[in-house]
């Protein structure tokens, strides 16, 4: 069974731009969660989507948003990029919301210049 | 709120040495506990988990026991290999917060010398 896939793997943007990251969960998994990893703040939960609805949200500004499609694929969008948004963005999938075992993708590394 | 504290690294050991990485947690209920590993340039891989007190998670020679009385979940391996070099994250979910939201420790970088 294929794992979680994320595209693109690497991205370079400039301040003020916006970016969209994509995540395809493991086949049959319906919950997708997003995390941000930075050297300073470590791994932080962004949000979770299940059945095309946001179920949980972390403490990030409204510039960070997401959505989920009927095939469970998810996208994350960051508008008005700031230098501090440079990070590894990880997507994780699980069978359903509330299932504690999550499987992570390889991440998208975003660099904001 | 819930939190995870793990020993700071980096930890450097010689091949075949015994490994312990300490992890303690704070949670209001009964969380599930995890160890994830991150190899250079990659995402996170679930190494092992335990979902209730006294459970022992094990995988690839690594073990960790859920100790409710000491709120700990220390990672151990009897004989490390160079290929074990990676960053290890202790984590929890549930226990008073959403089971979908994983709370991670800060990570411990492990380097194994041949």
Report the alpha-carbon distance of residue A105 to residue B37 in Å, rounded. Answer: 13
Share of chain A above pLDDT 90, in %: 87
Contact yes or no for B99 and A101 at CB 8 A: no
Q: Kindly compute the dihedral angle of the four CA atoms of residues B21, B24, B29, B34, in this order, to the nearest 10 degrees.
A: -20
Kindly list the residues from chain B whose CB atom is less than 8 angstroms away from the CB atom of residue A6. Answer: 43
CA B5-B10-B12 angle, to 5 degrees, is: 125
Band of residue A100 on the pLDDT scale cut at 50, 70, 90: low
Residue A99 has pLDDT above 80, yes or no: no
Neighbours of A23 (CB within 10 A): 27
Q: Please indicate if any CB of chain A lies within 8 Å of the CB of B101.
A: yes
Q: Tens digits of per-residue pLDDT, B24-38?
A: 999 988 899 999 999
- Beta-carbon contacts of A71 under 8 Å, excluding residues fewer than 6 positions away, are none
Report the alpha-carbon distance of residue A89 to residue A53 in Å, rounded. Answer: 20
- Output the pLDDT for position A2: 79
Kindly list the residues from chain A whose CB atom is less than 8 angstroms away from the CB atom of residue B89. Answer: 43
Q: Please indicate if any CB of chain A lies within 8 Å of the CB of B44.
A: yes
Which of A3, A102, A107 should one mutate to test binding to chain B, selecting the residue with the greatest count of B CBs within 10 A? A102
Band of residue B46 on the pLDDT scale cut at 50, 70, 90: very high
Q: Tens digits of per-residue pLDDT, A1-42?
A: 679 999 999 999 999 999 999 999 999 999 999 999 999 899
Q: Which of A43, A92, A61 is nearest to B3 (CA)?
A: A43
The residue behind tokens 């994983």 is: B102
Residue A64 has pLDDT above 90, yes or no: yes
Q: Which of B87, B86, B82, B80 is nearest to B113 (CA)?
A: B82
Of the partner residues B36, B51, B102, the one whose CB lies closest to the CB of residue A45: B102
Mean pLDDT of B54-77: 97
Contact yes or no for A106 and B42 at CB 8 A: yes
Q: Please indicate if any CB of chain A lies within 8 Å of the CB of B51.
A: yes
């Amino acid at each position: 069974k294929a794992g979680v896939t994320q595209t693109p793997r690497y991205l370079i943007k400039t301040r003020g731009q916006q970016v969209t990251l994509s995540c395809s969960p493991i086949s049959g998994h319906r919950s997708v969660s997003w995390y941000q990893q930075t050297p300073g703040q470590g791994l932080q939960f962004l949000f979770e989507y299940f059945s095309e609805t946001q179920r949980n949200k972390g403490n990030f500004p409204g510039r960070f948003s997401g959505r989920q499609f009927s095939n469970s694929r998810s996208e994350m969008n960051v508008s008005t990029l700031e230098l501090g948004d440079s990070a590894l963005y990880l997507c994780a999938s699980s069978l359903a919301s509330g299932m504690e075992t999550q499987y992570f993708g390889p991440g998208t590394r975003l660099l904001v210049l | 709120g819930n939190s995870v504290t793990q020993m700071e690294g980096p930890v450097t050991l010689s091949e075949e040495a015994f490994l312990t990485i300490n992890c303690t947690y704070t949670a209001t209920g009964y969380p599930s506990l995890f160890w994830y590993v991150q190899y250079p340039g990659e995402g996170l891989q679930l190494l092992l988990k335990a979902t209730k007190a006294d459970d022992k998670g094990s995988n690839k020679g690594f073990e960790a026991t859920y100790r409710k009385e000491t709120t700990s979940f220390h990672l151990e391996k009897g004989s490390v290999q160079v290929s074990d070099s990676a960053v290890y994250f202790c984590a929890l979910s549930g226990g008073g917060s959403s089971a979908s939201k994983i709370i991670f420790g800060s990570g411990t970088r492990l380097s194994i010398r041949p």
